[in-house]
Amino acid sequence: MRKSVLPNLCIVYAGQEIEITEHGKTVIVENEAGKGFVNAPQVGSLKIVKTSSDGKVKGFSFRVTGPNGYSEIFTVDESGEILIENLRIGEYVVSEVSDGASAAYVLPADKTASVFEGAVTKVKMHNELRDTPKTGDDSNPVLWKWLAAIGVLGFVACGGGYIAYAMKKRRKDGAE
């Protein structure tokens, strides 16, 4: 890039200070020697590290959203990690996708991560198994037997009451 400027002018260009002291002097600015000015995006990497209370990590999916409408879904392999390279610098949101692999787990909250130039930003995502109640709990068999006996007695009492009512009604209908 070539630019003629006024004498005694100081400018900052691409992080470098350039002072022009001669009138009419042409200054050549390049950020890559011999190539001129190369305008490449600043990029970094994002690493998602998956853990769970039961040690399972394979098959979980994550959505990563960020600047300029970036939105991708990635799936964890047996290593429990996802490395996303060449992301533009900026803020990204990592969220676990609710699917078959994550159905038995409490999903972690979404996390925001800043990606910096030339760096790897780590995001740790951990799942806990859902506390699913057992069916057919037999932890107190004596209690269950008593509850069953009370239920049978209640059923018999209701049946006996209905029979007594029906007989009384039949006698009343027969007397008329």
pLDDT of residue 173: 74
* pTM of the entire predicted model: 0.57
C-alpha–C-alpha distance, residues 86 and 45, integer Å: 6
Q: Cα(30)–Cα(1) distance, rounded to whole angstroms? A: 7
pLDDT of the residue at 81: 95
Tens-level pLDDT at each residue, the chain (176 residues)? 444 444 455 555 556 666 667 777 776 666 666 776 667 789 999 999 999 999 999 999 999 999 989 999 999 989 999 999 999 999 999 999 999 888 889 999 999 999 999 999 999 999 999 876 666 666 777 877 888 888 888 877 777 777 877 788 777 776 66
Residue 44: how many CB atoms within 10 A of its CB?
Answer: 20
Q: What is the pLDDT at residue 110?
A: 96
CA torsion 51-56-57-59 (nearest 10°) is -150
